Chain A
């Protein structure tokens, strides 16, 4: 895989508080890399450090295929978490301004802007003032602004926050398409369900430190253990006594049995006690969302660190 960005041992403190510590990851051409974590985990600090908006106290950020010192700003597309647009200007004017700032040819930018406006259902809105757009439309224009100059590396900080489900789908599809065309995408999010279907690799950050880093499959295999959901009237202690059961969560008639990593499902199913009340029965893997919630709430024993070769 051709590397586009490498971040090594990044660290940053505010006063005496350590915001991020020893953050290392890379982003390859044509892949979607997600930085995940709860609010306040240090995602935005990491991204702002990459963008040069914040200066890290330690660590190294390297943009490959770029010889000179500094950040190749015209090669990067950036959609920050805190984002907005000038209110009293026309859509096309602001898109061309951002293209000009990136040294992108204006003629080409205009064509691309029209193409993307059409793609996002904003055809004919190019001469409309930003203040006349709805919030969702404004977010689409912001997204177009971040990709208007065909960036090699696209950095999206919480791209899905505040979007309705339809717009989320539009964004997801576009991000996938960009990656397929070769753009390296680095995105941060706390919406695991969206990222799960989207990213190739992920970096889970909690309290400023790495928790999990690896490909989606590796993470699932390593951390997303099987869980068995049983609908029926059962005694929790009885369920806990079943072999290979790590813990049980019970709510009314629904019991979720979290299984150990080395469980062999066919054998485990065979040894289930006969007297269990089963109305409904499913076995599946723990979702990224659950892993995330477990880590954030301190339930998971993965604890401080786990690395899968990246």
Chain B
């Protein structure tokens, strides 16, 4: 263990002194922030609509009575004008203005049953739907004019809607109020564990490179004169775990303040819950599983560029849960989700997705999955030790799957 920690410390220090690692450490979260904000920058429609100004001539006093019932942020870009404008006058104004609309609510509107919405050229035609809020009050006004009382007119104008009802939807309706908050409360810690798993997996992939480099630069034999192959292998796994955690720390330091500021969700409150411990355990177990695969396969490859499809395929393993993503989303407790949970390679990923989706956690399945994961880590570490021991000293060639199989059986 002491020797492994020495190797871990060396691997950690070596990478932390490496300029390209330091750049990637900060670049990944910064890139995330850029891509997170990019859609907002390009969301012109919304920006346009937010900035649009609507002028209403309200001869019918429909708008003024409606305005009092609407929230302030909906009505702040609506302005009442006192004088009636002809179509020519409006057109003249619109030619000079941007993001502007004019609505003339006169008796004629009630007679014709149509409202003309004059918009400047730069506004989208769909903008007209924003003015739909006027439809119901205008209809009520029209009915009142026909002799109905104010109340009768309101009822008639509101129309009749249809909705389907199932036992499930009744349950849903009952818990509707707190549902979206609950969802976020579940997702935030899972998302955090997911980020940790992702980060340490990415640095975990660097183990492959590190083991391969050890072979290529022929340092392995010198190092192995001071410690055992198992200690060297474990040291690498611990070292790159440390680097992964450092990457997570960079994410937290750069992104969390941004999220707390930009997104209106109490992240920290949702994050530090007891369930987080289990989720972190799953993430770390996932790392150990894949790290053992990467380090052993890295020890069989001298030149990464010449590595065969077999070795390349190993990099795809952590992304295997993506196959299950669709079926799990549609049924988080279905048979596909369960298979994914108990198949060691996909256990960490699938379990995290399911725990984010399920309201009540299936504890029996979780316990079985964790047992499967722990046993698999033990088996994979043993196999990795065997492959690493022979592979790391095999200079000058990449090992074939047949050779690797032989080392495992030794």
Which A residues are within 8 Å of any B CB, using their own CB?
51-53, 73-74, 76-80, 82-89, 93, 97-98, 100-102, 142, 145-146
Contacts and interface: CB of A to CB of B under 8 A. Distances in A.
A101 B227 contact: yes
B67 interface: no
Contacts of A80: 218, 221-222, 225
A83 B226 contact: no
A179 B10 CA distance: 32
Given A73-B226, A89-B14, A146-B222, 14 more contacts: A52-B228, A53-B221, A73-B225, A74-B226, A77-B225, A85-B217, A85-B219, A85-B222, A86-B213, A86-B217, A88-B14, A101-B7, A101-B223, A145-B222
Contacts of B223: 101
Nearest to B235: A101
A84 B218 contact: yes
Contacts of A78: 221-222, 225
Nearest to B218: A84
Given A82-B395, A89-B14, A98 B226 contact: yes
B393 A53 contact: yes
B3 interface: yes
16 contacts: A51-B225, A53-B225, A76-B225, A79-B222, A80-B221, A80-B225, A82-B221, A84-B217, A88-B18, A93-B14, A98-B222, A100-B10, A101-B6, A101-B7, A102-B226, A145-B222
B390 to A, nearest CB: 10
Nearest to A146: B222
A163 B401 CA distance: 37
Contact of A82 (B6, B10, B18, B218): B218
Contacts of B13: 93
Contacts of A98: 222, 226
- The 10 A-B residue pairs with the shortest CB-CB distance in the complex, in nearest-first order: A84-B218, A78-B225, A101-B226, A80-B221, A84-B217, A82-B218, A97-B10, A73-B226, A82-B395, A84-B219
A53 B224 contact: yes
A101 B3 contact: yes
Contacts of B224: 51, 53
A301 B223 CA distance: 42
Contacts of B225: 51, 53, 73, 76-78, 80
Central interface residue in A74, A79, A85, A97, by most chain B CB within 10 Å: A97
B6 A100 contact: yes
The size bracket of the interface on B is 20 to 34
B219 A86 contact: yes
A89 B223 CA distance: 15
Contacts of B219: 83-86
A102 B395 CA distance: 24
Nearest to A76: B225
Nearest to A151: B225
A100 B6 CA distance: 7
A23 to B, nearest CB: 20
A61 to B, nearest CB: 14
Nearest to A85: B219
Nearest to B228: A52
Nearest to A84: B218
Interface in B191-250: 213, 217-219, 221-228
Contacts of A83: 218-219, 221-222
Nearest to A79: B222
Nearest to A70: B228
Contacts of B393: 53
Interface in B374-388: none
Contacts of A53: 221, 224-225, 393
A74 B6 CA distance: 14
Contacts of A74: 226
A77 B219 CA distance: 14
Given A82-B395, A84-B217, A86-B217, A142 B222 contact: yes
A88 B393 CA distance: 21
Contacts of B221: 53, 78, 80, 82-83
A76 B226 CA distance: 8
A74 B3 CA distance: 11
B241 to A, nearest CB: 19
A97 B13 CA distance: 11
A86 B3 CA distance: 18
Contacts of A145: 222
Nearest to B390: A54
A79 B224 CA distance: 11
Contacts of A87: 217
Nearest to A130: B217
B214 to A, nearest CB: 8
Contacts of B10: 97, 100
Nearest to B225: A78
Interface string B2-19: 010011001001100110
Contacts of A86: 14, 213, 217, 219
Contacts of B18: 88
Nearest to A51: B225
A82 B218 CA distance: 6
A308 to B, nearest CB: 31
A154 B221 CA distance: 15
A74 B225 CA distance: 9
Contacts of A142: 222
Contacts of B218: 80, 82-84
Contacts of A85: 217, 219, 222
A130 to B, nearest CB: 9
A290 B218 CA distance: 33
Interface string B254-286: 000000000000000000000000000000000
Contacts of A89: 14, 17
B298 to A, nearest CB: 15
A163 B221 CA distance: 20
